[in-house]
Amino acid sequence: MSTFPILLLPQKSLQNVLRIMQPLELIYFSFVSKTCKAHTVDLNLKASRLTIVLKNGEECAWIEAVFKDGNTVGFEISTESCADCSEVMYPVLGTYYEDGSYDSSHADTIKVPTIGLAQVIAHFQTIFHKPKISQLYHENVYICDQMLEIIKTLDFEKIEFWIRTFDYFLILFSNYTREVDFQIHCLRLVTRVILCRSIRFVDSSDWHLPNVLASNGTQFKCSTPVPIKSINMFLRHWTNGSNPRLECIRISIEAEAPFSEESTYIEEVLKGIHYQTEPIDSVKTFDPINLYTHNNLCFNEHILKQTTGIVIRCGYEKKAMVNVKLFETPTESEVLFQMSLIV
Alpha helices in the chain (DSSP H): 11-19, 23-32, 34-42, 117-127, 145-152, 166-173, 209-213, 228-239, 262-269, 301-304
Upper half-sphere CA count for residue 3 (Cβ side, 13 Å): 6
Mean predicted lDDT score pLDDT of the chain: 75
Q: Angle at CA 86, nearest 5°, toward 158 and 138?
A: 25
pLDDT on residue 193:
47
For residue 311, the Cα-to-chain-centroid distance in whole angstroms is 29
Distance (Å, whole) CA 337 – CA 310: 12
The pLDDT tens digits for 95-115 are 999 887 889 888 887 778 888
275, part of any domain: yes
Question: In this structure, what DSSP letter does residue 9 have?
Answer: S
326, part of any domain: yes
Which range has the top average pLDDT, 29-38, 247-256, 327-336?
29-38
The pLDDT tens digits for 9-35 are 888 898 888 899 988 899 999 998 899
pLDDT at 343 over 70: no
300, part of any domain: yes
181, part of any domain: no
pLDDT on residue 192:
46
Question: In this structure, what DSSP letter does residue 342 have?
Answer: B
Q: Are 41 and 83 in contact (CB under 8 A)?
A: no
Global pTM?
0.64
Dihedral sign, CA of 259, 263, 266, 271? negative
Q: How many domains does the chain divide into? A: 2
Dihedral sign, CA of 24, 29, 30, 36? negative
Nearest to residue 49, comparing CAs of 29, 19, 69? Answer: 69
The pLDDT tens digits for 105-164 are 888 877 788 888 899 999 999 999 999 999 988 876 677 777 888 888 888 888 887 776
Question: In this structure, what DSSP letter does residue 108 have?
Answer: P
- 55 phi, psi to nearest 5 deg: -110, 155
pLDDT band for position 188 (cuts 50, 70, 90) = low
pLDDT on residue 303:
37
Give the C-alpha distances (Å, rounded to integers) separating 139 from 91, 151, 162, 163, 241: 21, 15, 5, 7, 34
328, part of any domain: yes
Length of the chain: 343
pLDDT band for position 228 (cuts 50, 70, 90) = confident
337, part of any domain: yes
| Residues ≥6 apart with Cβ < 8 Å to 15 | 39, 42
Asked which of 46, 61, 78 is the last residue of a domain, the reply is 46
Distance (Å, whole) CA 220 – CA 213: 12
15, part of any domain: yes
Q: Are 304 and 321 in contact (CB under 8 A)?
A: yes
Distance in angstroms between the alpha carbons of the first and the last residue of the chain: 58
Structural domain harbouring 320: 218-343
117, part of any domain: no
**Weakest-pLDDT range from 52-61, 151-160, 232-241:** 52-61
- 201 phi, psi to nearest 5 deg: -95, 115
